[in-house]
Structure 1
Amino acid sequence: MIQKPLSEIAQMASALNDVSKFADVIVKGVSIDTRKIEAGNLFVPFKGERTDGHNFVADVIQNGGASAALWQKDVPNPPEDLPIIIVEDTTTALQELARSYRNSLDIKVVGITGSNGKTTTKDMTANLLAQKYKVQKTEGNFNNHLGLPLTLLRLREDTEVAVLEMGMSSKGEIEFLTKMGRPDAVIITNIGESHLLDLGSREAIADAKLEIIEGLQENGLIIFHGDEPLLLERLKDYTGNGQLKTFGASKDNDLYPVSIESVENGNKFKTNAGDETFYLPVLGNHNILNALAAMLAAEFLGVPFEKMNAGLASLKLTNMRMEISEGAHGEKIINDAYNASPTSMKAAIDLVANLSGYNRKILVLGDMLELGPLEEEYHYKLGSSIDAGKIDYVFTFGKLSEAITKGAIEVLGDDRAFSFQDKQQLSNELKKYVTGETIVLVKGSRGMALEEVVHALQK
């Protein structure tokens, strides 16, 4: 993490005041949350709608372990007897501090974006690169205008490769992030329907994701899903300073699977790049495609394919992404409750539909958020696309998911598809249907908190 005297921090953050009295105070790391202050941290307060972080500055320095704090110029009465850096805007100062620190580091960077699979691909890429380098990656979903700066400021000076996830909700955000991170390689996992509410069309989403190229360093690598026409169309005439490589299911890609074998809790697969058989301890063919993207990035940075099996086989994904556990009745539970979109939801349902070894398959599905004016149609189409011969029961939670149930009833009947607005009621009813030979998929957008259903099944 960043570790510098306050005099340097003040210069990097464009201080407006004289900090010479506290010039030798050492800053170790940065925090924006008073509950997570660690010894020596620089505390960055923000003016919120309900609370103002500036109200806690004196306390976190005097009693909370922080060594210093930023202070926004338009907030009155900055404490004069404490190590305070006055700045025009605390958010901008945090970002400038991160940009300056990143520019001081001798590291390689892989930037990752896409509608689905960003975090999974990030975890895979970091694991593969760790076979050769000291690697750090974005923690959790710290992938926005605040999260990415905090991730950069947590990088150690001896880190050799940083794997940075870049998220967005509107046009221009990824361009801002990628110019801060300055990646040597970028991955665009896919183009889905997430953020239709903000951007209006998949075409606009594709344009926004492609902003990640704007920060690519000289002779960098652009890795993208070659089965996606929206990306192919936009990159066919690319004349920038990077090279292009594609991954996907079709043989038109630079890297594609030539065989896939389902095994317990994962898949074995081979690629067109050689005879090596890779084991991926994660369910779903879509995750094999994520692995291919990660493999191209690792190869670009010097990790040979023959060394990648160890990185894939030891993979542990961020929580609530295809996380397998067991319920109280011995049922297997796939907890994929971190997020959801029509594309990722369909992939997860297809995965469960095609699994063998279970005599009952149950879907627990929640609302998919931020889909715009056609959100009800997306939910209904998802429900009506469920294969009645491969899925036994559907339980949904949320107002939007009532449309999933309506669609599912058309193919399964009303005795196999049920809608709930109360998670406890859903969980109580669900328990009546599970046995030791049941598999349950739990998936919905983050705001639906469907992991509560998982926890209920485990009791």
Structure 2
Amino acid sequence: MIKRTLQEVAGMIGVGDFESQHSNVLITGVTIDTRKITAGNLFVPFKGERADGHAFVEEAINQGAAAALWQSNVPNPPMHLPIILVEDTLIALQELARSYRKQLNVKTIGITGSNGKTTTKDMTASLLSLKYKVQKTEGNYNNHIGLPLTILGLEEDTELAVLEMGMSGKGEIDFLSRLAQPEVVMITNIGEAHLQDLGSKEGIAQAKLEIINGLKSDGCIIYIGDEPLLQQYFEQYNGGAVLKTFGSNTSNDLYPTHISQSDDGSCFKVNISDREFKLPVLGTHNVLNALAAMTAASFYDISFEDMNEGLSKIKLTNMRMELLQGKKGERIINDAYNASPTSTNAAIELIANLPGYQNKILVLGDMLELGEEEKEYHIKVGESIDPNKISAVFTYGELGQFIAEGARRVFPEDRVYSFKEKQPLIVQLQKLVNQETIVLVKASRGMKLEEVVAGLQE
């Protein structure tokens, strides 16, 4: 992580006339949260609508922070403390990350997509770790605040950094890409997430394609070739980067020739290797994420013969196809971190076709940020569930009731349950589970369906 004197930090963020008795104070790492302070941190406060982080600057330093930034329009700066006055603390954080990035020899891989970017990040980092010192985005630090913090957390001898890039609107990924200066960029897919803000899948595709704006001129673009919107764009591409595709279709550079599922993961083969690969993660969609990661690893001269070792060591971020066990012996797939129609349908397909279970139950919640047609998207998910393969459907939330409405068009009434509170849902669900049951829990993050998972385990 960044280790610089306060004088050096001031120069990196453009404070040219910095003079202080604390100039030689050494900062080690950066934090924006007083609950996460470690000794030597630079604390960066933000002035928000409800709370002002400047009120905690003195507390942060008492807890071990070496120094802090202070926004100049906030009154009464504690000049007796090691602080740097800046016009805007967020911009200062971003500029510090930009300067630090330029000082590093690290190569970066940028990953975006409507679904699967976090899982693909985890897989890519695991494969690259076979040969290099690798760091990756932790948690969901993938936005205009999180990415600068991730960059500032890079060790100076890190060789490759795998960076997730998220967005809610146009221009955000452009900023992140130019900040990270990636050598490789990856687009996992174009789905329905952020339709509310971007209006159409075409708008989403254009926003995701901003990731190439910061790409090194001789870099590599890895994208899912099954997506027509990306195909159309790259047919006209005349830049200097190498193009590599992955996906289900045989027209891709890398595609699966065989996939089989079991409750401990997936086995698959690909078109350019005789080996069978074992992925300790469920879902055909995650096999495609693995293909993206394998393409990136191949670009960095990791052989397909060695990739099984990297795949076996994958450590996924929590609540992404996480396989758990309930107190009655039922198996639970906790995929409650996020949801869109595309990712939800993929998870349902996985459960429907997973062998070894007599009782298959879906617990589905609201899929958020889908725009004006959100009701129709939820109904279509419910209608698409196969009653011959799924035993029961539980829904939660205001929009979840539309999944139930769609499901009732194909299911008997007594196999569809709709709730607006979690506790009665848990109580009813517990009546139906046993050792021959597998339960999928899937919704957007705001629905907090991990509470249902916890209810099954208590």
TM-score (norm 1): 0.99
**1:142 & 1:50 partners in 2: Cα distance?**
22
**1:359 & 1:368 partners in 2: Cα distance?**
28
Matched residue SS, 2:93: helix
Shifted more, 233-242 versus 206-215: the winner is: 233-242
**1:126 & 1:402 partners in 2: Cα distance?**
38
1:133 Cα shift? Answer: 0.3
Tell me which amino acid in the other structure corresponds to 2:32: I
Matched residue SS, 1:21: coil
Tell me which amino acid in the other structure corresponds to 2:389: K
**2:457 & 2:423 partners in 1: Cα distance?**
13
**For residue 343 of structure 1, what is the aligned residue in structure 2?**
342
**For residue 15 of structure 2, what is the aligned residue in structure 1?**
15
**How do residues 145-164 of structure 1 correspond to structure 2 at under 5 angstroms?**
145-164=144-163
1:304 Cα shift? Answer: 1.3
Shifted more, 123-132 versus 297-306: the winner is: 297-306
Matched residue SS, 2:413: coil
**How do residues 354-393 of structure 1 correspond to structure 2 at under 5 angstroms?**
354-393=353-392
Asked if the contact 1:10/1:19 (under 8 Å) is kept, the reply is no
**For residue 286 of structure 1, what is the aligned residue in structure 2?**
285
> CA deviation digits over 1:270-312, x for unaligned, max 9?
1111101110011101100000000111111121111111000
Asked if the contact 1:16/1:88 (under 8 Å) is kept, the reply is no
Asked if the contact 2:262/2:354 (under 8 Å) is kept, the reply is no
Structure 2 residue 59 is matched with structure 1 residue 54 = no
**How do residues 316-355 of structure 1 correspond to structure 2 at under 5 angstroms?**
316-355=315-354
**2:100 & 2:70 partners in 1: Cα distance?**
20
**How do residues 252-267 of structure 1 correspond to structure 2 at under 5 angstroms?**
252-267=251-266
Asked if the contact 1:19/1:83 (under 8 Å) is kept, the reply is no
Structure 2 residue 32 is matched with structure 1 residue 32 = yes
> CA deviation digits over 1:411-437, x for unaligned, max 9?
012100110011011000100010110
1:17 Cα shift? Answer: 5.2
Matched residue SS, 2:259: strand
Shifted more, 420-429 versus 75-84: the winner is: 75-84
**For residue 186 of structure 1, what is the aligned residue in structure 2?**
185
**For residue 76 of structure 2, what is the aligned residue in structure 1?**
77
**2:113 & 2:184 partners in 1: Cα distance?**
14
Tell me which amino acid in the other structure corresponds to 1:75: V
Asked if the contact 1:363/1:442 (under 8 Å) is kept, the reply is yes
**1:362 & 1:244 partners in 2: Cα distance?**
41
**1:329 & 1:240 partners in 2: Cα distance?**
57
Asked if the contact 2:184/2:296 (under 8 Å) is kept, the reply is yes
**1:397 & 1:15 partners in 2: Cα distance?**
51
**How do residues 417-432 of structure 1 correspond to structure 2 at under 5 angstroms?**
417-432=416-431
**How do residues 124-203 of structure 1 correspond to structure 2 at under 5 angstroms?**
124-203=123-202
1:252 Cα shift? Answer: 0.2
Tell me which amino acid in the other structure corresponds to 2:28: K
Structure 2 residue 455 is matched with structure 1 residue 451 = no
TM-score (norm 2): 0.99
1:452 Cα shift? Answer: 0.5
Structure 1: gaps of 5 or more residues: none
Asked if the contact 1:324/1:333 (under 8 Å) is kept, the reply is yes
Shifted more, 10-19 versus 205-214: the winner is: 10-19
1:197 Cα shift? Answer: 0.5
Tell me which amino acid in the other structure corresponds to 1:33: D
**For residue 270 of structure 1, what is the aligned residue in structure 2?**
269
Structure 1 runs of 4+ with >3 Å offset: none
**1:59 & 1:135 partners in 2: Cα distance?**
34
**1:150 & 1:105 partners in 2: Cα distance?**
15
Tell me which amino acid in the other structure corresponds to 2:116: G
**2:263 & 2:442 partners in 1: Cα distance?**
20
Matched residue SS, 1:164: strand
**1:299 & 1:55 partners in 2: Cα distance?**
49
Matched residue SS, 1:171: coil
**1:147 & 1:402 partners in 2: Cα distance?**
34
1:116 Cα shift? Answer: 0.1
Asked if the contact 1:109/1:185 (under 8 Å) is kept, the reply is yes
1:314 Cα shift? Answer: 1.6
Asked if the contact 1:331/1:439 (under 8 Å) is kept, the reply is yes
**For residue 107 of structure 1, what is the aligned residue in structure 2?**
106
**2:18 & 2:140 partners in 1: Cα distance?**
36
1:16 Cα shift? Answer: 6.2
Tell me which amino acid in the other structure corresponds to 1:57: V
Structure 2 residue 232 is matched with structure 1 residue 233 = yes
Matched residue SS, 1:345: helix
**For residue 43 of structure 1, what is the aligned residue in structure 2?**
43
Asked if the contact 2:186/2:221 (under 8 Å) is kept, the reply is yes
**For residue 294 of structure 2, what is the aligned residue in structure 1?**
295
The number of equivalent residue pairs is 458
CA root-mean-square deviation: 0.8
1:80 Cα shift? Answer: 1.3
Tell me which amino acid in the other structure corresponds to 1:382: V
Structure 2: gaps of 5 or more residues: none
